[in-house]
């Protein structure tokens, strides 16, 4: 690393691990930015949720997840590490985010979407792990 191209920076703060909460019934997440989320300090990043590895048993019936909800003015970047997430939105787009996949959704003026465990993951069960970052769009 060349001293002419990089600058050492000091650590401003170390944030303790926050408490987890459920998003819908399929995503137990830790809000990594915790109280700093949605602040100028982190801009343009808004929020970062991490769903640590969690075992879900095989099941019959509706997949677990979160129903239709709106987003506007930011992008969501979803990374699946283990398990699968299905996505459907108001533009007619849908797909399955599998382990190792990244989905980048731009909400712009607004979008309604839902996300949940894939049908295959629901039937088979398994370990689920993912993260999601929200990135603010310029005005």
Q: Edge-to-edge strands of the sheet including 65-71?
A: 65-71, 111-117, 85-89, 94-97
- Please give the CATH number for the structural domain made up of 42-136: 2.60.120.10
Q: What is the model's pLDDT at position 94?
A: 95
Task: Give me the tens of pLDDT residue by residue for the chain, a chain 139 residues long.
Answer: 555 678 888 888 888 889 999 999 999 999 998 888 888 888 899 999 999 999 999 999 999 999 999 999 999 999 999 999 999 999 999 999 999 999 999 998 999 999 999 999 999 999 999 999 999 998 7
pLDDT at 36: 84
With contact defined as beta carbons under 8 Å apart, do 22 and 38 qualify? no
**CA–CA distance, 128 with 57 (Å, rounded to integer):** 11
Q: What's the Cα-to-Cα distance from 56 to each of 7, 88, 122, 132, rounded to whole Å?
A: 45, 22, 8, 19
Q: For residues 135 and 79, is the Cβ–Cβ distance under 8 A?
A: no
DSSP state of 35: G
Tell me if 103 sits within 8 A of 73, measured CB to CB: no
- Say how many C-beta atoms besides its own lie within 10 A of residue 117's C-beta: 25
Domain ranges of the chain: 42-136
Query: Structure pTM?
Result: 0.86
Pairing of strands 126-136, 45-56: antiparallel
pLDDT for res 138 = 87
């Amino acid at each position: 690393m060349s001293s002419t191209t990089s600058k050492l920076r000091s650590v401003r703060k170390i944030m303790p691990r926050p408490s987890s909460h459920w998003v819908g019934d399929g995503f137990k997440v830790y809000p990594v930015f915790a109280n700093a989320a949605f602040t100028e300090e982190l801009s343009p990043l808004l929020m970062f949720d991490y769903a640590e590895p969690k075992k879900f048993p095989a099941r019959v019936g509706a997949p677990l997840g979160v129903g239709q909800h709106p987003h506007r003015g930011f992008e969501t970047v979803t990374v699946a590490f283990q398990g699968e997430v299905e996505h459907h939105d108001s533009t007619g787009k849908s797909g399955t985010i599998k382990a190792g996949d990244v989905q980048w959704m731009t909400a712009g003026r607004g979008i309604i979407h839902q996300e949940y465990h894939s049908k295959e993951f629901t039937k088979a069960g398994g370990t689920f792990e993912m993260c999601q970052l929200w990135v603010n769009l310029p005005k």
